[in-house]
Copies of this chain bind each other. A is one copy, B any other.
Amino acid sequence: MKAALVDDAGRLHSLLRIPTPRDGQFPGDVVVAKVAALTENYRAEYPGCAIESIGLVVPGLVDEEAGIGRMSANLGWRDYPFGEHLTRVTGLPVAFGHDVSIAGEAEMRAGAGRGLRDVVVMVIGTGIAGAVFCEGQRVRAGGYAGEIGHAEVPGGTECPCGAFGCLETIGSAGAITRRYNALSGNAAAGAKAVLTAALSGDRHAAQVWEDAVNALAFSICQLTAILGTEAVILGGGLAQAGPALVEPLQSRVESRLSFLRAPRILTTVLGQDAGLIGAGLRARDLVARP
């Protein structure tokens, strides 16, 4: 869980990283209580500053309009009215959203997507999630859009979600680490270590990295054919590989496409704080003076 106070100019102050509070019975309530407590702390820390609104983004299936967290497999809530409860406890208007979607929005408004219209933001970490923008508007489909990590790709394997061949079983940072360790018998700590091994000639590492790039290129070509996507912005842990990821991915995408316009592969500008910045932008929208 991350939190910050956002000022008029969009700057983050007193950024905190704390463990997400969990409760088997009241998984939504403990989050609301923690956000309320953080709000009080910021008020105490900045007595001259009147906090006007709260932006809260959560993972899982989210109904943004209704302010409801429909489902989080990891954190456990079902149909929990975050917006309503947080407003009741704090007295402040609340902008509520889906974490990856709002991070994508921030990237479009203030990051690598500025000035672009047909874009997919892919966050590649343990899993893979996406935010899809068409003509500058985010596609929501009631919260069902953007599950790019669970689109099938050749070479994909059984996925904990219950389907077979999902992109995130081969193209995610988690999959890269897991597959390399299984193939090599080593115990790489993460995808970064696998990339380092690949660059120094480890053939298992090179193979696993190549498989991931091919799988990601496959999915990006699907986006291109279906949506005419002009740019794909990579975020999450894997994007930190930078050119070692972007360059082979760009060339693989271009070589697979014939007459379709190849999207540019970009990396996040806002980085790991994109969700926080997006929540701040949304919260400011609520109280914006024209």
Contact = CB atoms under 8 A, between A and B. Distances in A.
Interface stretch (A31-39, A102-110, A235-243, A252-260): A252-260
B228 A145 contact: yes
B144 A134 contact: no
Interface stretch (A20-28, A85-93, A219-227, A280-288): A219-227
A66 interface: no
A116 to B, nearest CB: 11
A224 B152 CA distance: 11
A143 B221 CA distance: 16
A146 interface: yes
A131 to B, nearest CB: 11
Contacts of A199: none
Interface stretch (A41-49, A159-167, A178-186): A159-167
The 7 A-B residue pairs whose C-beta atoms are closest, nearest first, are A141-B228, A144-B228, A162-B258, A151-B225, A145-B228, A163-B258, A118-B141
A64 interface: no
Contacts of A256: 152, 163-164
Contacts of A230: 141, 144
A163 B257 contact: yes
A258 B152 contact: no
24 contacts: A117-B141, A118-B145, A132-B227, A134-B137, A134-B141, A135-B137, A135-B140, A135-B141, A141-B227, A141-B230, A144-B224, A144-B228, A144-B230, A146-B228, A147-B226, A148-B225, A151-B222, A152-B256, A159-B258, A161-B258, A161-B259, A163-B260, A222-B222, A227-B227
A69 interface: no
A145 B261 contact: no
Nearest to A162: B258
B148 A229 contact: no
Interface string A207-229: 00000000000100111111111
Contacts of A221: 151-152
Contacts of A141: 117-118, 134-135, 227-230
A75 to B, nearest CB: 16
Interface in A113-155: 117-118, 120, 130, 132, 134-135, 137, 139-148, 150-152, 154
Given A152-B221, A222-B151, A227 B139 contact: yes
Contacts of A145: 118, 134, 226-228
